[in-house]
Each structure stands twice: as C-alpha cells, then as structure tokens.
Amino acid sequence: MKAIVLAGGFGKRLKPLTDTIPKPMLPIKGKPILLWQMEWLRSQGINEFVLCVGYLKEAVRDYFGDGSRFGVRVDYVYEDEPLGTGGALNRAREHFPAKDLFFAFNGDIVSDINLSDIHQRCEEANATGALALVQLPSPFGIVTTTSDDQIESFVEKPRLADHWVNAGIYCFDPSIADYLPEIGSVETDVFPILASEGKLVASKHSNCYWKSVDSMKDLEEAAMLLKA
C-alpha cells in the first residue's frame, strides 16, 4: 500500500529549530518525526512512500534516501516554491495508484490510529475521500463542579467528546486528482467541494493517541506519548 506524506512546510512556529532542520525531521527521543510516522505506517502494511518536500528538502532526502535501510521504498516530489497541501498532492499525482485507494498524511503528526478503519470507511462509502477525525484535545485543564458549584475534580487536558478535528490522515480514491489545485490547500480548497457533493466521509477515532507537532510544547508532549 502507498502513502503520500506532505512534508514541505516551513515550520515557522518552531523557530529557531527549523532554521536549520525541516519540521518533519525534528527529533523526538532521538528519532525524526517523519521516521516515527514511517515506522507506524510500516507496521500497518504501508511500504511505499512518496515524500512531498520543499523547505530544506536535502535534509529529508539525505536521511531517508531510497528507503531501503528502513525496509521501505521512498520516492520524492519536490516543491521549488510553496504549493500548499493541495498543490503538493497535485504535484504527486503521477504516483497515485491507477485504481486502488491510497493514503495521504501531514508530515508533522504522530499517532497510532488504525488505518484499516479509514480505508474500509472510504471503500464502503464509495467516497472520493475519507478523513480521520479525533476528539478535540483541550488546551487547558477542566474543572468539574457539582450542581451547587462545589469543586468536584480536575481533569488535565481531556479530549472533548463532542468536538472532532481533522487528524491530517486521509484515504483517497485516485479520482481526487480531478479536484486538486496547482497551488492551494486541500483542507480549504478541496474538502468543502467534496463535502458539498457528498463525496467525503469521516472515520472517527477516540481510543488512540494523536498529536500534531506545531510548537515546542507539542514536541515535549509527543515525547511523552511515544515509546522508544
């Protein structure tokens, strides 16, 4: 099975670390984010990767090469200028399977989500795309109270069960190529169109860990989630 990883961003919120290291290569417990992701995906049967790289792309290419030392195959799609997630996917369209579903991922997430659930959801719905959704992690601790406003408990940064967010994990039919812009965002320029046409479905995941690494604090929290 094949995965396309969107790993070309600047990582501005992680400066000065990203002045010299692209965000997907930032280390967590001594391993780049992208390697953590690749090991997770390989454990679920994905052994072909297309890495869409731009900013400091040489660092990614020099580390992963053709993927053979990690037991996978790696190809690259290069951005000479920022194309956005939709544009990067469009640039990678020659790597889309002819008929089979494939996965796409943001290159800054760590998770243990079961990919077969997303694949099955997309296949059974005959959808153009399926999005993995996770419960919104509260950025703050929650205080619960009794009916008479006595403090009852403190819950540190719980998942908010009634609110779901895009996990940056997608399963696509190759026909997604018909919707992709040359420059633009798959999240804002493509998904709303697919949703309006009834071609986009959700795969909800609550019993999992998931972290998008966007800040120094995220790096620290991801380190607590991951097992070396």
What's the CA gap between 136 and 218, in Å, rounded? Answer: 15
Count of beta carbons in the 10 Å neighbourhood of residue 148:
5
Q: Which of 70-79, 142-151, 155-164, 205-214 has the lowest average pLDDT?
A: 155-164
The conformation of residue 52, written as its DSSP 8-state character, comes to: E
| pLDDT band of 207, cuts 50, 70, 90 | confident
CA 113 to chain centre: 11
Q: Which of 38-52, 64-78, 193-207, 214-228 has the lowest average pLDDT?
A: 214-228
Selected catalytic residue, list 12, 157, 204, 217: 157
Q: Which residue has the higher pLDDT, 160 or 71?
A: 71
Q: What is the pTM of this model?
A: 0.88
Tell me the pLDDT tens digit for each residue of 40-96: 999 999 999 999 999 999 999 999 999 999 999 999 999 988 899 999 999 999 999
H/E element, 48: strand 48-53
* 214 pLDDT higher than 70: yes
Give percent above pLDDT 90 in the chain. 73
What's the CA gap between 140 and 170, in Å, rounded? Answer: 28
What's the CA gap between 210 and 221, in Å, rounded? Answer: 10
Confirm if 22 and 32 have CB atoms less than 8 A apart: no
Q: Which pLDDT score, from 0 to 100, does residue 153 have?
A: 78
What's the CA gap between 104 and 4, in Å, rounded? Answer: 5
Q: How wide is the angle at C-alpha 12 spanned by C-alphas 130 and 179, nearest 5°?
A: 30
* 24 pLDDT higher than 80: yes
Q: Which pLDDT score, from 0 to 100, does residue 160 have?
A: 66
Domains of the chain: 2-133+164-225 (3.90.550.10)
Instruction: Let me know if 29 is a catalytic residue.
Output: no
